[in-house]
Amino acid sequence: MPAGGAEACANCGRHGSETVKLKNCTACRLVKYCGVDCQRAHRKQHKKACKQRAAELKDEQLYSRGLERPGGDFCPICTLPIALPIDEHAVIKTCCMKRICRGCSVAALKRGMLDCAFCRTPMKPDNDDDNKLGKIRTRVKKKDPEAIDLLAQKYCNGELGLQKDMQRAVELWTEAAELGSVDALYNLGLAHDRGDGVQQDKEKSIQLWSKAAMQGH
């Protein structure tokens, strides 16, 4: 920066004034330019520092605004974080798509509560695939993002009598992510990283994972 604290164009050195409007480099915000021509002329010299600072800014955004755990990792009954790995310490209730910790599930059974511990829906045997799939589809029709993500997983793995269909899974994950599912964001990242059901795009996968990480995934 020139003497006196006046800002100047990083390429030509012109000071900012009422007639010379300086603009930040949008990627790194380290330097200013008086115009597009100067920015282009300075690009080769500035490229390395710009790229490094842009990466630092991205990391700062990721780590300063991110969450430690997503909301779905907390039991809606006791409100405590569910121990990892989640699948071993919680169960998803397909009637309401809530993930209930096993502690609350056991406590409800001990009190003689045979209905869903969260929404009180009468629980029927959930042994057959058609029954499970029907419950999930009911929640999908109500635009439940977690149900849509779960249905996508079933298409991905070819479960509950569904044929494996990665394109359909990607469509569902995209919808679920738009509705707020963090797991869907992560799963979409995997699909783009592997080129599974969608054209492989490593850069896109990193963007999706970054968004998921900022929300606690």
At 164-207, the pLDDT tens digits run 999 999 999 999 999 999 999 999 999 999 999 999 999 999 99
The model's confidence at residue 64, banded by pLDDT at 50, 70 and 90, is low
% of the chain beyond a pLDDT of 70: 92
What is the predicted pLDDT for the residue at 126?
Answer: 58
| Token couple for 86 | 């989640």
What is the predicted pLDDT for the residue at 125?
Answer: 63
pTM, two decimals, is: 0.65
**Is the pLDDT reported for residue 89 higher than 60?**
yes
What is the predicted pLDDT for the residue at 128?
Answer: 75
Distance from C-alpha of 191 to C-alpha of 173, rounded to nearest angstrom: 10
Q: Tell me which residue of 71, 126, 70 sits closest to 93, measured CA to CA.
A: 126
Sequence-ordered alpha helix ranges (H) in the chain: 36-65, 86-89, 102-110, 129-141, 145-157, 166-178, 182-194, 202-214
**Is the pLDDT reported for residue 63 higher than 70?**
no
Q: For helices 36-65 and 202-214, what crossing angle results, to 10°? A: 50
Q: For the chain, which domains are there? A: 3-65 (no CATH), 73-123 (3.30.40.10), 125-217 (1.25.40.10)
**Is the pLDDT reported for residue 2 higher than 80?**
no
**Is the pLDDT reported for residue 3 higher than 50?**
no
At 183-195, the pLDDT tens digits run 999 999 999 999 9
